[in-house]
A = this chain, B = another copy of it.
Amino acid sequence: MEETSKLGKFTAINEIARRRGFFWNSYEIYGGAGGFVAYGPLGTRLKQNIENKLRDIFVKQVGILEMESSVITPGKVFEASGHVANFKEPMVECIKCNKRFRADHLLEEHAKISSATAEKMSLDEIKFAIDENGIRCPDCGGNFNPPQQFLTMFVTTIGPYAGATGYGRPEAAQGIFVEFNRLFAVAREKLPFGVIQIGHALRNEISPRQGLIRLREFTICDLEFFFDPEKPCCHLLKDVENEVLPILLGETRLKNSEETIKVTVHEALDRKIVRSEWQAFFMAMAKRLLVEIGVPEEKQRFIEKLPWEKAHYSSQSFDQEVLLDRYGWTEVSGHAYRTDYDLSSHMKASGADMRVFKEYDTPVETEQVIVKPLMAKLGPVFKKESAKVGELISKVDPQIIRVAFEKHGYYMAGNYKILPEHVEICSQKIVERGKRFIPHVVEPSFGSDRLFYVALEYAYSIKDDRVVMKFPPCIAPTQIGVYPLMSKDGLDTKALELQKRLTREGFTVEYDETGSIGRRYARADEAGIPLGITVDYDTLRDETVTIRDRDSWRQVRSPIKDLPQLMHLYFQGKINFENLGKLV
């Protein structure tokens, strides 16, 4: 069964996903709605476990702060961030049937123009390519109207006034940037620090496809890491410097090659393949995360984005990709060096000071020329207006006044003629304790739904013609199954007690008494439950149970009283299945 055809494996996963309640297309009773999925009970837990694994790595271990803000966002935010201007895709409409398509997708499918190339084409170039390749409406064969840009944000109105435009956020990052000042205060005003937000996001795709890979509503995990660009060193680099990153360089891609180089984090930085230490650090952590959710490192790579592929805010970008059976290499996380683009934009648009203060090691002394209005001299000349004139003078760059005096012998402050005797020009010593600057940002950004799909595909395996979902125990949606051998003679009561007890210990435990024990094991394997505990007649006599391993189908026997402790150690990854008891 290892040679399951590509369509077969994809179809099989989707069939299991629907039948067992991992996920399915939403709103089927209303004919479906492209780009929306529903996660069933198993899927919801799997997705949560993956998100919690991400939290575990970044929030608990690295110390990143977590925040939560709204999906609906006032228009100003995405105007300032550049999304209203840039978050668009080229679209064509069929003249005949009025159906609309993403122009770049048509070029990819019908003119073999790579997405990398299509992304840098202007609307005119797209029109030319469509005409040249004779691309017509895939649905009715009609011709297309000229391509236009379509804003792929959901638009709405906030409150009862027509003018108050709101957008569904296409990323959680802006929710962090606009709250930077408060978050920085909470971080006790120390750099570097990072903030993560995990939440729903929206992209109003023109024609969504590819199931979980391209959704209109999805869960994004945006991590914004703020640091002083003059102190770009990552103090945690030691932990990852020997981690190997498989990288497909931009220059290699330009040669139409897909050859990756394998470099350690250390080398990647030394050779300036990755420009920021923090970016390299997060790429290494991202690789580890994927390994933990079941993707071996040889099925991962990082591709460097070409200049025209990068988001409008990014200085250097890598995509982390995973090899998928049907979709090929697929992005699961993006790693962008956003510099100070976002904070600067919001600072400019809002007028709020978003700079942070940095103290110099030793204060810097500078001389500053100042112009002091002499009120005693101004009074007799300007009478009632002398205060106003004085104020005008103080607002002008002293240098301008000095030059005017030298050139003309006077300076015109508005309509008021100021003579040298009206003011005193002197210099003053200024001690600067430090300076204000805008932090730089490195951003790893994960798509939760893609991580979910990847985990599903890499868990999928066939053993003796049966599906076994081999989720790593740390993300398995159900941890333990409890089964009475027969649902009578007190075996069921005993098993239910055990299920309750293990649930109280914090485990996710399923009780199943329906059908033969073989059928129940098969059902459990398909749901990816790592351990199955069977209560049999011996249990009533000696208080021991059988524990079955999902992957090897081997069984061990253990006393009930040891189970809580054993289960904790097993799911913390401290012991293996073999350590759970005596092999049967």
**A residues within 8 Å of B by Cβ?**
18-21, 24, 26-30, 33-45, 47, 60-61, 65-74, 76-77, 91, 100, 150, 154-161, 166, 168, 175, 178-179, 181-183, 185-186, 188, 195, 199-200, 202, 204-207, 216-217, 346, 349-352, 354, 503, 506, 508, 514, 572
Contact = CB atoms under 8 A, between A and B. Distances in A.
A69 B36 contact: yes
Given A40-B67, A216-B72, A514-B188, A29 B157 contact: no
30 contacts: A21-B186, A26-B69, A27-B73, A29-B181, A29-B346, A29-B352, A30-B77, A38-B67, A38-B69, A38-B70, A38-B179, A40-B179, A41-B183, A41-B186, A42-B186, A44-B66, A44-B67, A60-B508, A71-B71, A71-B217, A150-B160, A154-B156, A154-B158, A155-B156, A155-B157, A156-B168, A158-B204, A159-B216, A188-B514, A199-B200
A179 B66 CA distance: 32
Nearest to A208: B159
Contacts of A61: 503
A145 to B, nearest CB: 12
Nearest to A34: B159
- Ranked nearest first, the 6 interchain pairs of A and B with the lowest CB-CB distance are A21-B186, A29-B352, A41-B65, A29-B350, A70-B217, A39-B68
A51 to B, nearest CB: 11
A68 B91 contact: no
Contacts of A349: 30
Secondary structure at the A interface, as helix, strand, loop or mixed, is mixed
Given A21-B182, A72-B168, A159-B205, A66 B45 contact: yes
Nearest to A507: B60
Nearest to A512: B188
B27 A178 contact: yes
Number of copies: 2
Contacts of A34: 159
Given A39-B68, A160-B100, A24 B182 contact: yes
Given A26-B70, A30-B350, A72-B202, 20 more contacts: A21-B65, A21-B186, A26-B175, A27-B74, A28-B182, A29-B181, A29-B350, A29-B352, A37-B69, A38-B70, A41-B66, A41-B183, A41-B186, A44-B67, A70-B216, A71-B217, A72-B168, A158-B204, A159-B205, A188-B514
Contacts of A351: 29
A572 B195 CA distance: 29
A27 B177 CA distance: 10
Contacts of A204: 157-160
A216 B73 CA distance: 11
A47 B74 CA distance: 24
Contacts of A181: 29
